[in-house]
Amino acid sequence: MPSRPVEAAGDPRHLVMFSLTLREIIQLARQIAPIKSGKTRRKIAIPFAIKTVARNASTTYARITAAQGYKLASLLEPVLPRFNYITTGQKIGGRNNQIKNSIRHIGKTRLIGHIILTMEQAGKKRRGRMIGLNMAMILSTALFACKQPPDSRYIPDTIATEQGLAMMREVGCAACHEIPGIAWPEGRTGPSLVGFDDIGPIAGTLPNTPENLAFFVRNAPLAKPGSTMPAMPLTEEEARDVAAYLYIIDDE
Amino acid sequence: MSRRISILSTMNSNSGIVEAWWGWPPPVLDPAGPYADSVMVLTWALIGMGAVVTAIVVAALYVAIKGPERLKTKLGGERAVWIGGIAFPGIVLTGLLVWGLTLTASLTHDITGNEMRVRVTGYMWWFDVEYLDESGNVVMRDANELHLPVGKPVVIELASADVIHSFWVPHLSGKKDMIPGRTNLLRIQADKSGRYGGVCAEYCGGPHALMGFVTVAHDARGWSAWWQSRSSERPEAADRHVPGALPAVARNVSLRADSDDLNGRQLFMDSGCAACHRVAGTLANGLAGPDLTHVGSRLTLGAGILPNNRGTMIGWIGDSQSIKPGNRMPSYDMLSAKEMEAIAIWLEQQK
């Protein structure tokens, strides 16, 4: 009997902290140092190599919501200027020259994330460099708190995804779903799976975790009573491979 | 597997169509029986002759451009035209024709009584399969799947219900047209047990490319077991539909009263499925679509294109038009999830 899908109650693991390397802190400080303190609510974007901002997380998973940003900010409130958002993204167009220039500054890597700070009442006139370093120290612990819980920040390996796709062909998932990578058929009894990486809860119900997805594709009626999707002839391992493929479907 | 080309790469490995078109060596050069053997010999002979003729033409071209004057004159002379242009191709092609027809004559031998007989009727876009006894009476009906014993010649009586189709199992025999109003005979035989894909090899409109079937060759033991399982449970009533007549099966309603399947069966009858599909032992006696008496044990759905499981069955019932556009079954999207599932479960039980 397979275990029931995991119901994620809240998201307690979201604010996991871990520290930057010294080199990264200095780099971060150098980014922050030129920012003038004492201005109120000025938004400043600090670009950063995405590897540093989000480690091996994909851009999607490194994104945090405004609410989470606020939560993060409130942790820092007593210490230093507050920042509202931490975002990452690949495409940063011409509308923000500051960020654009910084992309050039970072040079080799096209992948950048950026931290948008809102400076608020930094108060005392300290030397910029010190503020930069102080903030970098704070960020070095707080910044990485914005990771998703480890098990949903999920980078499936290539073998799993290939086997997953092969299994989907084998059992005929495409009879009901349009699936990128499968040209025929494009069934419409079930929802299209284009852009599945950005989907919300699984089948609109279950928390979007790899275990839940694997459980759902294998035994949908148990995972979501009333679902049109029947149990599929997959082993638990095959179901995990199928879930792995679903997570790399990316329409961007 | 992952390197299959184009649309084939996206079809599942249960598909009769993929099995018929794909593989190495190519199915048409990989015979599994005597009839396919002679087709392969003919194929290689034609390829060989083609190579020889091409070589001769290339050599003549070389002589015509760069050869010595004496040969050029000869090549351009009337004699060369008579010999190379008329006599040589005339003799070679006539010889090949006679030899080829002799070689493959066994494929279309008349029925002698020692063979197994199966009538396969092409419909747009699926195959009706009827197993016949020696005198030509239907013993069992099936669709889109052909089972045969290893080592025994099988005469396929090819017919068509609408347009011209063509029956082709590349591993087992040549291809032969299914022509409305005619019965063509084609022999097939498998000497190795296994699964061999088949396709319709004559464009027949709409989803022609999705019209396939699976041939399964059983060894002696497998064959008797399979035949037993098919014939013991539900003896075939003589219930060929006569327009206007009461359905003969009404006398023979062996309702299997599992409370589980009652719902699915009822829905099948009430939703109109029975108007096109026959399920022996029930009131469903439609003949416009594939016979579903044994659908639960089939390897594929949709005429050799989808694997057969509950998911694909629901997908097919719910929106077959998105899977096989233009096929003659409407999408039953007015059914609820529960209803589709109940029908699929009941159909699964029709082994």
- Give residue B324's domain range: 248-348
Model ipTM?
0.72
> B336 and B261: one domain?
yes
Asked if the structure places residue B2 within a domain, the reply is no
For residues B101 and B156, membership in a common domain is answered with no
- Residue A78 confidence (pLDDT) above 80: no
Beta carbons of A187 and B14 less than 8 Å apart = no
For residues B107-128, give the mean pLDDT.
Answer: 92
Q: Roughly how many angstroms between the first and final C-alpha of chain B, as a whole number? A: 30
Same domain (yes/no): B104, B121: no
3-state percent helix, strand, coil for chain B, nearest multiple of 5:
45, 20, 40
- If asked whether residues B267 and B320 sit together in one domain, one would say yes
* pLDDT recorded at residue A20: 55
What does the alpha-carbon distance between residue B282 and residue B267 come to, in Å, rounded to a whole number? Answer: 13
Share of chain A above pLDDT 90, in %: 15
Per the CB < 8 A criterion, the answer to whether A216 and A177 are in contact is no
Task: Show which of B186, B206, B231 is a domain's final residue.
Answer: B231
Tell me which of A1-15, A115-129, B287-301 is least confident: A1-15
Number of domains in chain B: 3
What confidence tier does A36 reach under pLDDT thresholds 50, 70, 90? low
User: Measured between alpha carbons, how far is residue A30 from residues A25, A46, A47, A48, A89 in Å?
Assistant: 9, 10, 11, 11, 21
Average pLDDT estimate for B294-303? 93
The DSSP element (H or E) to which B187 belongs, if any, is strand B184-188
* A190 shares contact with chain B (CB less than 8 Å): yes
Give all domains of chain A, ordered by start, each with its CATH number: 17-146 (no CATH), 158-248 (2.60.40.420)
Residue of A nearest to B313 (CA): A175
CB within 8 A of B256, min separation 6: which ones?
Answer: B281
Number of other CB atoms surrounding residue B194 within 10 Å: 14
**B13-42 residues touching A, CB cutoff 8 A:** 13-14
Q: What is the mean predicted confidence (pLDDT) over A69-90?
A: 33
Q: Answer whether B296's CB lies under 8 Å from B142's CB.
A: no
Of A58-67, A77-86, B69-78, B296-305, the range with the highest mean pLDDT is: B296-305
Lowest mean pLDDT among A51-55, B100-104, B150-154, B164-168: A51-55
The per-residue pLDDT for B230 is 84
pLDDT tens-digit series, residues A152-161: 456 778 889 9
Alpha-carbon gap, residue A6 to A13, rounded angstroms:
14
Choosing from B108, B129, B161, the residue where a domain stops is B108
Q: Which residue has the higher pLDDT, B70 or A3?
A: B70
| Res A67 pLDDT > 50 | no
Of B14, B307, B319, the CB nearest to A187: B319
pLDDT confidence band for B262 (50 / 70 / 90)? low
Strand pairing category for A85-89 and A42-49: unpaired
Confidence class for position B248, pLDDT limits 50, 70, 90: very low
User: For B135-160, what is each residue's pLDDT tens digit?
Assistant: 889 999 999 999 999 999 999 999 99
Residue B118 clears pLDDT 90, i.e. is over it = yes
Type of residue found at A98: Q
> Is the same domain home to B121 and B222?
yes
- Whether residue B16 lies inside any domain: the answer is no
CA distance A155 to A152: 9
Residues B43 and B134 in one domain: no
Q: Which of B53, B81, B108 is the last residue of a domain?
A: B108
Are B165 and B120 within one domain?
yes
Of A38-47, B1-10, B220-229, B308-317, the least confident: B1-10
Mean pLDDT (chain B) is 86
Task: List chain A residues with CB under 8 Å of B311.
Answer: 171-173, 175-176, 229-230, 232
Which residues, 6+ apart, have CB-to-CB distance to A228 below 8 Å? A189, A190, B314, B318, B337, B340, B341
Domain assignment present for B328: yes
| pTM of the model as a whole | 0.68
- Of residues B268 and A111, the one with the higher pLDDT is B268
Quick one: B120 and B220 in the same domain? yes
Are B125 and B86 in the same domain? Answer: no
Measure in Å the smallest separation between the Cα of A226 and chain B Cα atoms: 7
Q: Could you tell me if B9 lies within 8 Å of chain A, comparing CB atoms? A: yes
In the predicted model, is pLDDT for residue A174 greater than 70?
Answer: yes
Confirm whether B22 is domain-assigned.
no
* Confidence tier at A133 by pLDDT (50, 70, 90): low
CATH code assigned at B194: 2.60.40.420
Same domain, B123 and B220: yes
- Here the tokens at position A87 are 């975002």
| CA of B135 vs chain A CAs: smallest distance (Å) | 41
Residue A15: predicted pLDDT: 37
B213 and B286 in a single domain? The answer is: no
Chain B touched by A174 (CB under 8 Å): yes
Residues B126 and B224 in one domain: yes
What is the predicted pLDDT for the residue at A153?
A: 52
How many CB atoms are located within 10 Å of the residue B100 CB? 16
For residue A4, what pLDDT band results from cuts at 50, 70 and 90?
very low
Classify the phi-psi angles of A135: left when phi > 0, otherwise alpha if psi is within -120 to 50, otherwise beta.
alpha
- Write the CB contacts of A225 (distance below 8 Å, at least 6 apart in sequence): none
Is the predicted pLDDT of residue A71 greater than 90, yes or no?
Answer: no
Q: Is B306 on the interface with A (CB under 8 A)?
A: yes
A-chain residue closest to B337, CA distance: A228
- Segment among A77-91, B198-212, B309-323 with least mean pLDDT: A77-91
Examine residue B325 and state whether it is found in any structural domain, yes or no: yes
Q: How many CB pairs under 8 A join A and B?
A: 88
* Residue at B18 is within a domain: no
In a domain, B1, yes or no: no
In a domain, B294, yes or no: yes
Contact B12/A185, CB-based, under 8 Å?
Answer: no
Residue B119 has pLDDT above 50, yes or no: yes
